[in-house]
Amino acid sequence: MANLDLSKYGIVDVQEIIHNPSYEKLYEEEMNPALEGFEKGQLSELDAVNVMTGEFTGRSPKDKFLVDNEASQDIWWTTPESPNDNKKVSEEAWDYLKEITAKQLSGKKLYVMDTFLGANENSRLKIRFIMEVAWQAHFVKNMFIRPTEEELENYGEPDFVAMNGSKTQNDRWEEFGMNSPVYTVFNLKEKMQVIGGSWYGGEMKKGMFAMMNYYLPKAGMAAMHCSANVGKDGDVAIFFGLSGTGKTTLSTDPNRQLIGDDEHGWDDEGVFNFEGGCYAKTINLDKDAEPEIYGAIKRNALLENVTLDADGKIDFNSGPANTRVSYPIHHIDNIAVPSKAGHAKKVIFLTADAFGVTPPVSKLTPEQTKYYFLSGFTAKLAGTERGVTTPQPTFSACFGGAFLSLHPTKYGEELVKKMEEHGAEAYLVNTGWNGTGKRISIKDTRGIITAILDGSIDKAPTKNLPIFNLEIPTELAGVDTGILDPRDTYANASEWEEKAKDLGARFIKNFVKYTDNEEGKALVAAGPQVD
């Protein structure tokens, strides 16, 4: 361990290498009173360290690029017709960015973390992270799978390397046709990621998720932006959804073992977690509504951008919308060990609909499953982001378009193949708003999830919701009957109809990009129908 040579990455004259440090060592390093600015940690009243990530409190997708070379020819590249985050950059730009990142890390005290990505030995990646910021190493230790001492002794060479030079910037960005001095760039030929200009830890987490999303489907496995849990009888449920839709909250269930909260694969053995931790939103976190997440915030958890006073007292109700906590998965009491289980029987698509149109729950046909998976709909509520004054629809392919490295239809193909093989059923669940103008309560949503998991929803009476042609239950135990049909939440049902036609038209417009083949064309009938 002590003889780790980083010169092969261009990093030279290193003062000290802290290789795979313990949590105790990381705490000591990030709480060093000599630290300044965004490197410095502050101890909170819950005994978890809080750090600030500066201007970037989330990923910077406009600054994500992949090197255009022979190893990346099957990437789902962005086009004007189908825009996404997979933008090309030249090998010349790569050489420069790798050089300035290595230069930033040279001559410093560095933290090197050797991790696994993927709970199944036959498909996991060995990822090495190199950085100069202690709390970023802490983030990595929380979020990736921590090898045992024996596994570290036999670790060998990594499959992928991430160099985080957050303190440096790209002064040649305009010359290289990039977006800004900030960069997160991947080279599939060298199997390396370099980061500069952003302190946000999620660039490492989501960057490696994109790499698993490249390798797994090519090997016939589903790669999924979802949470997952397993019941006492071995029944597995997976929860797809974009940020803010409730993946972490709803999968963290005291009656079920958590497999993981964000990123999973599905192979011939079953569903498995990519990660070794959870990354939960903390804005407006309520101890009574989300006790498992609140209870996970303790020593070794790492808070990001949470508002603290000088004494460490926490105010979860202020700060940026993307305040977060990362914690090792064992901070949740009820977890699957190791983080995997059998095949999923229930597949739940979560959407936070700010238009107040979609029902709290509907059961999907196989064709609707494909349609709504490819659509990946959620919405931003007015006021949640600067400049957002009316509800804004977000269509993100496969509920994770930002992290897809291959064409979306490949992920849909692998998911539906696994669902058909194992008799899984799919449901669309709206965790957002309805005609009352209020968000659907966590209590009602949990009642819906319970009905899905125990099968009672399949025995409930149903009716058809027009325009979207969705089958919705008319009553469910533990759920307010008055919200099940969204039309009933409006003073006048014609208001719902007007909004439904508007949203339905947006679905139709978004789906056009998937109609360039016969399968896509055939799925149009499974979506909204607007006269």
Supply the residues annotated as catalytic: 59, 206, 225, 243, 247-248, 262, 324
Burial of 299 (0-12, 13-18, 19+ CB in 10 A): middle
Nearest CA-CA partner of 259 in 145, 362, 411, 122: 145
* Max intra-chain CA distance, the chain: 72
The DSSP code sequence of 366-410 is HHHHHHHHHH-EEEEPTTSSTT--S-EEEE-GGG-GGG--S-HHH
- Residue 297 near residue 48, CB atoms below 8 Å: yes
Q: In sequence order, which residues have a C-beta less than 8 Å from that of residue 218 and are 6 or more positions away?
A: 74, 406
Encoded tokens for 35: 């630290």
Sign of the four-CA dihedral 11, 14, 19, 21: negative
Sign of the four-CA dihedral 345, 349, 350, 355: negative
Question: 């060990």: which residue's tokens?
Answer: 337
| DSSP H helices in 190-289 | 202-218, 247-251
- Residue 194 near residue 163, CB atoms below 8 Å: yes
How far apart CA 399 and CA 396 sit, in angstroms, is 5
How far apart CA 84 and CA 97 sit, in angstroms, is 22
The DSSP code sequence of 146-195 is ---HHHHHT--S-SEEEEEETT---TTTTTTT-SSS-EEEEETTTTEEEE
Q: How many CB atoms lie within 10 A of CB 333?
A: 11
How far apart CA 474 and CA 479 sit, in angstroms, is 10
